[in-house]
Amino acid sequence: MEQEWRGNMIGGFGRKKEMDKIQNNVERQKMKERCEIFSIDITDVEQRLASFGEDGMLVSRFNDDADGYKFKSVRYYDEQGLHLNRFYYAMASLALKDVRNVFEIGTGDALSTVLLSQLFPEARIFTIDLPQGDPRFKRWRTKSAPETMRGKQRQERLRAENIITYEKNTFFLPSLDLPERFDFILVDGAHKYPQLAGDIMFAYNRIVEGGFLFFHDYYEKKASSCHVKQVVDWMAERIPERVFTFPMGTPPKKLEQKMALLVKGLNK
Ligand SMILES: C[S@@+](CC[C@H](N)C(=O)[O-])C[C@H]1O[C@@H](n2cnc3c(N)ncnc32)[C@H](O)[C@@H]1O
């Protein structure tokens, strides 16, 4: 079964100002008992290679001399609060070495896609979403149609050289011309059964040993519109790996929103 995060994990990286904002926010929002944030020394390569310990800890030291560092543009804090998902991807990018292939299921507005392309500049970022004409793409077709401002921004984000887009229903994933193995996968496409089960089976079976597999929106609530928790729990009962869950939303209102993560080969 899924392993509840015990609050002693969390690393991050960034400049002192940003890290202080996070620390303050965490303390103000009384999230502290659940969340202790350490920051990662982003100027020292050795320090950057944070690794999982006994309790899934990713801990590192802080260094405020971050200017000029290539990941500095990654923001996980803005006026809307914390975006802890970005924080976790950033940590994964620090922990993983020689990443070649990254896969995102569910491009959406390409916000994560562009972030992943920055976090893994040497890798190819594969991302898939429904074809624009697909009736199931309605939300994105209306809100993010190519001629809208949002659509234009989406296109702009997807222009990064290392991003490879697919416009396909993930039902066809096994027959697409994709790499055999991925070092990092983010499952954030359909949130309902049965589509999600197909995505999860594909992702689990194509991640490399030691690779990171994230599941967005592992919710306790909203079960009727979101089956991520049910399907991830179903998977967790069948695999040897531990599944960690982390808060994702802005505290305190959205504290129940979570992400799940497994590291292939990091067993229960
Ligand atoms: C929550 S959004 C992804 C957001 C994005 N990962 C981000 O962080 O900005 C989910 C996306 O999955 C897509 N999707 C839903 N069902 C799908 C399917 N069967 N095949 C491919 N994409 C699908 C939707 O069209 C939508 O754009």
pLDDT at residue 19, rounded to an integer: 54
Residue range 146-164, pLDDT digits in tens: 888 888 999 999 999 999 9
Of the CATH numbers 3.60.70.12, 3.40.50.2000, 3.40.50.150, 3.30.465.10, which one belongs to the domain with range 2-263? 3.40.50.150
Predicted local confidence at residue 16, as pLDDT: 52
**Residue 215: which of 237, 236, 194 has the closest Cα?**
236
Task: Please give the pLDDT value at position 47.
Answer: 35
Q: What is the pLDDT of residue 24?
A: 62
How does the average pLDDT of the chain come out, rounded?
Answer: 73
Q: Confidence band (pLDDT; 50, 70, 90) for 3?
A: very low
- Write the pLDDT tens digit of every residue in 48-60: 333 333 333 333 3
Is it the case that residue 71 has pLDDT exceeding 70? no
User: What's the rounded Cα separation, in Å, for the pair 96 and 121?
Assistant: 13
User: Quick check: 257 pLDDT over 70?
Assistant: yes
Which of the two residues, 77 and 189, has the higher pLDDT score?
189
Picking from 244, 255, 266, the residue whose alpha carbon sits closest to that of residue 2 is 244
Look at residue 246 in the predicted model and tell me its pLDDT: 73
Amino acid at 27: E
* pLDDT tens column, 16-50: 555 566 556 555 554 444 444 444 333 332 333 33
183 or 14, greater pLDDT: 183
Residue-wise pLDDT tens digits, 128-146:
999 987 887 776 667 777 8
Alpha carbon of 105 to ligand 1 centroid (Å): 7
The pLDDT tens digits for 81-102 are 556 677 678 777 767 889 999 9
Q: For 183-239, what is each residue's pLDDT tens digit?
A: 999 999 999 999 999 999 999 999 999 899 999 988 766 667 789 999 999 999 999
Distance from C-alpha of 107 to C-alpha of 56, rounded to nearest angstrom: 28
Whole-number Å distance, alpha carbon 228 to ligand 1 midpoint, is 13
Q: Are strands 243-247 and 258-263 parallel, antiparallel or unpaired?
A: antiparallel
- Report the share of the chain in percent with pLDDT over 70: 61
| Residue-level pLDDT at 142 | 73
Which residues, including other chains, have CB under 8 Å from residue 139's CB and lie 6 or more apart? none
Side chain identity at residue 66, one-letter code: A
- Pick from 130, 140, 214, 228 the residue to mutate for probing ligand 1's pocket: most ligand atoms within 8 Å of its CB: 130
Give, using CA atoms, the residue closest to atom 17 of ligand 1: 190
In tens, the pLDDT along 164-176 reads 999 999 999 999 9
Record the pTM: 0.77
State the distance from the centre of ligand 1 to the C-alpha of 96, rounded, in angstroms: 25
For 89, residues 6+ apart whose C-beta sits below 8 A from its C-beta are 112, 115, 116, 119, 184, 186, 214
Amino acid at 171: F
Ligand 1 site residues, Cβ closer than 6 angstroms:
104, 106-109, 111-112, 128-130, 137, 140, 169-170, 188-190, 195
The DSSP annotation for 198-244 comes to HHHHHHHHHEEEEEEEEES---SS-TTT--HHHHHHHHHTTSSB-EE
